[in-house]
């Protein structure tokens, strides 16, 4: 039976690694694992830690590797990020390359324009590349001798792309992998690998060449004794393609389909997904990024459109509903990538995207915790957090709307709210009830209903939801008899 994990920034809930450990063993007790978002040096760079200057060192303001190992020693399965696509432009390696050029020991580690195009770039070739931001993925840097180099920067100008296929790039990643394993990390999340391999003539996102590289990188992580989770926001068929190559993928389609189902008052798209979703999935509703809607939508590739689990108009309806629920803040905070007419993610907390509706929120969390897979709950979601508009306006980073910095007093206050207590009841249920160690089945009930059923011998757990009425009912069967739970107040005691 699989427990439930929590996804956190050490500095945004607790303050540092030791305080986080204290929280997880006291007020937030009950989680089987913890995914600590980048805690490397620095944890507070331009992209909230996803732009490390040193990927092998714990930022001293958060603690040390001993603090990470202490969490593992407590029995938590620790997950950490392997940031594959890029490093900070302030990293010692990049600075040395700018200073020494071809004489640097890091020559070849960073991906340049010429390395990909070889002097044969065309307008069509350059504009074919997919980028999750407006504009083109290059930044000009000048080396000490005056040579100007055009470096790939897929995400931000301060995040310089690695040439992961060059020996210098691979040596760097091998060093990071070994450090993570030695530090007590048992699952590694491979971040942004979908962009890592640039192939002329394609959009260079999750191509066949990318999949071959994922296979190679997963083998390196397995050699170090770690499980591999791949993070890819893309068409649902990409998750199906990559799932056999690694230990875990994210079920990013689930939150989009739940939002669609509540808007459309139907369960048919969710029902279809339950038939075809990968079994080795981390189930989420929210993460440190936005709520991915592209994951359930259509995509145009190679001149043809692949239909989605929902269509373009239905995607637009989900964005519109979130905008209405957040008084337009999700629209203002979300980014429209190059060559697109809709954002690929909603930047909002999941609770805010539902208009702070406790019943709808509990319904979505119940579905998340009942579908097969390994459930993971983001710290803001655990506390039913609302949009931090002040934070995102102060930083200019739309995703910061869902990255609130909690004081201890705010955590204690949130934990006393009925909707949060009910969610923790669902976490206890998913972690402890024997039915979840058994067999899963499901059926659609009417136009807007679903029934999710777990059976393990004499133990059973059945979730029935009505997406039109936003109604939840749970029936539990175990050695103590049968219980029926409905609504927030009853599920608190699950």
Which domains does the chain show, CATH number per domain?
A: 5-86+167-436 (3.20.20.80), 92-160 (3.90.400.10), 438-491 (2.20.220)
Tell me whether residue 231 is one of the annotated catalytic residues: yes
What is the token pair recorded at 493?
């005691």
Active site residue 191: yes
More confident residue, 480 or 248: 248
More confident residue, 369 or 194: 369
Q: Give mean pLDDT, residues 261-288.
A: 97
The 10s digit of each residue's pLDDT in 77-105 is 999 999 999 999 999 999 999 999 999 99
> Residue 3 burial (CB < 10 Å; 0-12/13-18/19+)?
middle
Q: Is the pLDDT of residue 302 over 70?
A: no
Q: Per the residue annotation, which of 46, 191, 387, 400 is the catalytic one?
A: 191
Mean pLDDT over 274-287 rounds to 96
Average per-residue pLDDT in the chain?
94
Q: How far apart are CA 235 and CA 294, in angstroms?
A: 7
Tell me the per-residue pLDDT of 456-486, one tens digit each, with 9 for 90 and over. 999 999 999 999 999 999 999 998 889 999 9
Q: What is the per-residue pLDDT for 487?
A: 85
Mean pLDDT of 251-261: 98
Please give the pLDDT value at position 234: 87
DSSP code of residue 347: -
CA 54 to CA 478: how far, in whole Å? 50
Residue 127: the pLDDT is 84
Task: Using pLDDT thresholds of 50, 70 and 90, give the confidence band for residue 123.
Answer: confident
Over range 255-283, report the average pLDDT. 97
Q: Which of 129-133, 322-326, 487-491 has the lowest mean pLDDT?
A: 129-133
Mean pLDDT of 391-418: 95
Among 380, 300, 298, which residue's Cα sits nearest to residue 8? Answer: 380
Whether the per-residue pLDDT at 172 is higher than 70: the answer is: yes
- Mean pLDDT for 154-165 is 94
Contact 352, 387 (CB under 8 A): yes
Banded pLDDT at 1 (limits 50, 70, 90): low
Residues 179/171, Cβ–Cβ less than 8 Å = no
Across residues 336-344, what is the average pLDDT?
78
- Which entry of 231, 314, 329, 400 is annotated as an active-site residue? 231
Task: Give the pLDDT mean for 282-303.
Answer: 90
| Parallel, antiparallel or unpaired: strands 439-445 and 449-456 | antiparallel
370 near 435, Cβ under 8 Å?
no
DSSP string over 430-494 = HHH-GGGGSEEEEEEETTTEEEEEEEETTEEEEEEEETTTTEEEEEEEETTEEEEEEHHHHHTT-
Q: pLDDT by residue (tens digit) across 212-225? A: 999 999 999 999 99
pLDDT digits (tens, 9 = 90+) for 177-189: 999 999 999 999 9
Give the Cα-Cα-Cα angle 387, 420, 430 (nearest 5 degrees).
Answer: 120
pLDDT tens per residue, range 11-31: 999 999 999 999 999 999 999
Please give the pLDDT value at position 134.
80
Q: pTM for this one? A: 0.95
Query: Does 339 have pLDDT greater than 70?
Result: no
Cα-based distances in Å from 232 to 149, 170, 250, 268, 309: 29, 21, 8, 25, 17
Task: Provide DSSP, 157-183.
Answer: TTEEEB-TTSHHHHHHHHHHHHHHHHT
The pLDDT of residue 125 is 82
Phi then psi dihedrals of residue 221, to 5 deg: -70, -40
Q: Is the pLDDT of residue 301 over 80?
A: no
pLDDT tens for 305-337 read 889 999 999 999 999 999 999 999 999 999 887
């Amino acid at each position: 039976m699989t427990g439930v994990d929590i996804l956190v920034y050490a500095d945004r809930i607790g303050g540092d690694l030791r305080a986080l450990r204290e929280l997880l063993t006291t007020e937030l007790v009950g989680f089987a694992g913890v995914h600590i978002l980048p805690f490397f040096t620095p944890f507070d760079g331009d992209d909230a830690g996803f732009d490390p200057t040193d990927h092998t060192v714990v930022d001293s303001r958060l603690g040390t590797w001993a603090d990470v190992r202490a969490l593992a020693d407590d029995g938590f399965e620790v997950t950490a990020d392997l940031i594959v696509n890029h490093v900070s432009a302030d990293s010692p390696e990049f600075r040395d390359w700018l200073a020494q050029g071809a004489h640097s020991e890091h020559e070849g580690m960073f991906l340049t324009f010429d390395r990909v195009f070889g002097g044969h770039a065309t307008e069509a070739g350059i504009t074919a590349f997919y980028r999750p931001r407006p504009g083109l993925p290059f930044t000009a840097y000048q080396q000490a001798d005056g040579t100007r180099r055009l470096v790939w920067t897929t995400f931000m100008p301060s995040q310089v792309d690695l040439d992961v296929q060059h020996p210098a790039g691979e040596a760097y990643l091998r060093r990071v992998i070994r450090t993570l394993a030695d530090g007590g990390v048992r699952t590694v999340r491979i971040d942004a690998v979908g962009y890592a391999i640039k192939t002329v003539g394609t959009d260079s996102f999750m191509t066949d060449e990318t999949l071959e590289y994922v296979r190679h990188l997963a083998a390196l992580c397995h050699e170090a004794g770690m499980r591999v989770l791949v993070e890819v926001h893309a068409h649902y068929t990409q998750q199906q393609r990559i799932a056999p190559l690694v230990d875990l993928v994210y079920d990013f389609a689930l939150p989009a389909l739940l939002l669609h189902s509540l808007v459309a008052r139907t369960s048919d798209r969710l029902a279809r997904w339950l038939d075809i979703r990968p079994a080795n999935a981390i189930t989420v509703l929210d993460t440190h990024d936005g709520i991915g809607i592209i994951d359930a939508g259509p995509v145009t590739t190679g001149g043809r459109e692949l239909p989605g689990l929902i269509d373009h108009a239905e995607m637009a309806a989900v964005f519109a509903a979130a905008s209405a629920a957040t008084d337009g803040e999700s629209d203002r905070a979300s980014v429209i990538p190059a060559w697109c007419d809709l954002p690929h993610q909603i930047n909002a907390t999941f609770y805010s995207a539902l208009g702070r509706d406790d019943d709808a929120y509990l319904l979505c969390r119940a579905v998340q915790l009942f579908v097969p897979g390994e459930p993971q709950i983001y710290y803001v979601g655990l506390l039913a957090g609302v949009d931090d508009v002040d934070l995102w306006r102060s930083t200019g980073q739309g995703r910061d709307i869902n990255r609130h910095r909690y004081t201890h007093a705010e955590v204690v206050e949130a934990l006393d709210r009925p909707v949060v207590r009910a969610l923790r009841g669902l976490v206890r249920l998913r972690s402890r009830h024997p039915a979840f160690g058994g067999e899963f089945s499901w059926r659609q009930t009417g136009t807007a209903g679903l029934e999710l059923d777990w059976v393990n011998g004499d133990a059973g757990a059945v979730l029935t939801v009505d997406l039109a009425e936003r109604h939840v009912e749970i029936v539990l069967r175990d050695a103590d008899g049968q219980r029926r739970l409905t609504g927030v107040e009853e599920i608190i005691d699950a």
